[in-house]
Structure 1
Amino acid sequence: MTMSLDSAAEVFRAAMRETVKRYSLWYLIQGALLVVAGFLAIIYPILSSVAVIIMLGWLLIISGVAQGISLVGARHVPHFWLQLISVILAFLIGFLFLRDPAQGLLTVTLLLIVFFMIEGISKIVFALTIRPFPYWGWVLASGLIGVLLSLVLWASLPVTALWLVGLLLGIQLISVGGALARLAWQVRRSPAT
């Protein structure tokens, strides 16, 4: 049995709507937590920027240690030396981030540009998928804000201030959290279909 593209798209949208409805409480909780985290990042932008860099540093160190453990006794694995160099780099860069978080600002800024862009595009696609669901426009606006924030960071790259990263991270968190919470609240209030 063949299904038209429009029919398949409607089936997919219906499945997405049902999933959002089924997990609306979790979306509401997630949205509220993201909004709170966003306000904290805006109130303390330098602290949130440094926290992101420190967290990234620890993640690199932990991944380096985990990869290093997996290489123990694997000297005959193809490309062993390349993997060992990767382990050393992860550990070294993580250590440098922890030693002086301000020096890791450019790297973190580039990572946030990628994160905001991908997060924004995924929210735009999600919003267009659940359209004409009530308040789908909030999710679309959240995605557009993510793309806009990535462009603002890109434009300010040579002189990105430590506080700007935290401020834009806070705006993104509030945008995503507010959109999710509004969508979940509306779904919870809507009658069962």
Structure 2
Amino acid sequence: MAMSLDAAAEVFREAMRDAVKRYSLWYLVEGVLLIAAGFLAIIYPVFSSTAVIVLLGWLLVISGFVQALSLISARHVPHFWLQLISICLAVLIGFLFLRDPAQGLATITLLLIVFFMIEGISKVVFALTIRPFPNWGWVLGSGMVGIVLSLVLWANLPVTSVWLLGFLLGLNLISVGTAIAYLAWQVRAG
């Protein structure tokens, strides 16, 4: 006999609750580390924004070289030239980010908008999934903060400054870290 949608949803919710209980110590550690990273990003907003751009630059360069190495032995794969052009663009953009991180500000702003929005939506969905769980509202609030931060960045898009990116990134990290740590703390205490 097939399971009803409500019964399947309840099984899924119970599995999520069990996972949070089982790994509560790791969630607590993750939350504390996110809070610490968030405070550092707020204290040093220009440094944190520049660090994100430089990190993205290195990731593009390294991934481009790794893809190039794997593509050397695959010259006969379909769309070889298209993949080669993609690799060259990744390395070129990575080097541009590393040469002048301020040039990558608009790109990073768009990426952070997408990141904040997707993370916010995923936190809202997660909160609604564990909803009868005590203190699920903290996770919901954290998701809402992510969504609001993405909208703030979107509204300031043409004139976004480096310090604003670092500051908003810090706020998001603190929000997510607080929600995760508080939820894990309550699970461990209860």
**TM tier, smaller:** over 0.9
For residues 139 and 42 of structure 1, what CA distance do their matches in structure 2 show?
21
Q: Which residue of 2 aligns with 1:169?
A: 169
Q: Which residue of 1 aligns with 2:71?
A: 71
Q: CA RMSD in A?
A: 0.7
Instruction: Give 1:2 deviation, angstroms.
Output: 1.9
- Quick check: 1:145 aligned with 2:145? yes
Q: Which residue of 2 aligns with 1:160?
A: 160
Correspondence list, 1:11-26, <5 A: 11-26=11-26
Correspondence list, 1:41-190, <5 A: 41-190=41-190
Instruction: Give 1:110 deviation, angstroms.
Output: 0.3
> Which range is displaced more, 180-189 or 68-77?
68-77
For residues 81 and 137 of structure 2, what CA distance do their matches in structure 1 show?
50
For residues 91 and 146 of structure 1, what CA distance do their matches in structure 2 show?
30
Instruction: Give 1:6 deviation, angstroms.
Output: 1.5
Instruction: Give 1:8 deviation, angstroms.
Output: 1.3
Task: Write the letter of the residue equivalent to 2:181.
Answer: A
- Superposition TM-score, scaled by structure 1 size: 0.97
Runs of 4+ in 1 over 4 A off after TM superposition: none
For residues 77 and 14 of structure 1, what CA distance do their matches in structure 2 show?
46
Q: Tell me the alpha carbon deviations over residues 127-164 of structure 1, each in whole angstroms, 9 at most, x when there is no partner.
A: 00001101100000000000000000000000000000
SS in 2 for 1:133: coil
Q: Tell me the alpha carbon deviations over residues 33-87 of structure 1, each in whole angstroms, 9 at most, x when there is no partner.
A: 0000000000000000000000000000011001100111322221111111011
For residues 58 and 113 of structure 1, what CA distance do their matches in structure 2 show?
21
Task: Write the letter of the residue equivalent to 1:156.
Answer: N
Q: Which residue of 1 aligns with 2:32?
A: 32
For residues 71 and 18 of structure 1, what CA distance do their matches in structure 2 show?
43
Structure 1: which 5+ residue stretches go unaligned?
A: none
SS in 1 for 2:109: helix
Could you tell me the percent identity over the aligned residues? Answer: 76
For residues 19 and 80 of structure 1, what CA distance do their matches in structure 2 show?
43
Instruction: Give 1:7 deviation, angstroms.
Output: 1.4
- Superposition TM-score, scaled by structure 2 size: 0.99
